[in-house]
């Protein structure tokens, strides 16, 4: 991913917190970041 390109963040709620994936629409929705998990502290 280069500066100026769009990133799309998709977030899903699960039982223990949230999961997320970041894709680059201008690169045929290539995954830029996956396996992200947010949990309460």
Residue-wise pLDDT tens digits, 1-18? 999 999 999 999 998 899
Q: Could you tell me the CA-to-CA distances from 23 to 15, 16, 34, 37 in Å, in that order? A: 23, 23, 9, 15
Higher pLDDT, 27 or 41: 27
Distance of CA 20 to the CA centre of its chain: 4
pLDDT interval class at 38 (50, 70, 90): very high
Instruction: Answer whether residue 40 shows pLDDT above 90.
Output: no
**Average pLDDT, integer, range 15-33:** 95
Question: Is residue 19 within 8 Å of residue 37, measured between CB atoms?
Answer: yes
Phi, psi for 10 (deg, rounded to 5): -115, 130
Instruction: Answer whether residue 41 shows pLDDT above 90.
Output: no
Distance CA 27, CA 7 (A): 10
Question: Is residue 18 within 8 Å of residue 12, measured between CB atoms?
Answer: yes
């Amino acid at each position: 991913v280069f500066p100026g390109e769009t990133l799309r963040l998709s977030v899903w709620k699960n039982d223990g917190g949230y999961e997320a994936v970041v894709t680059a629409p201008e690169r045929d929705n290539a995954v830029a970041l996956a396996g992200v998990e947010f949990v309460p502290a």
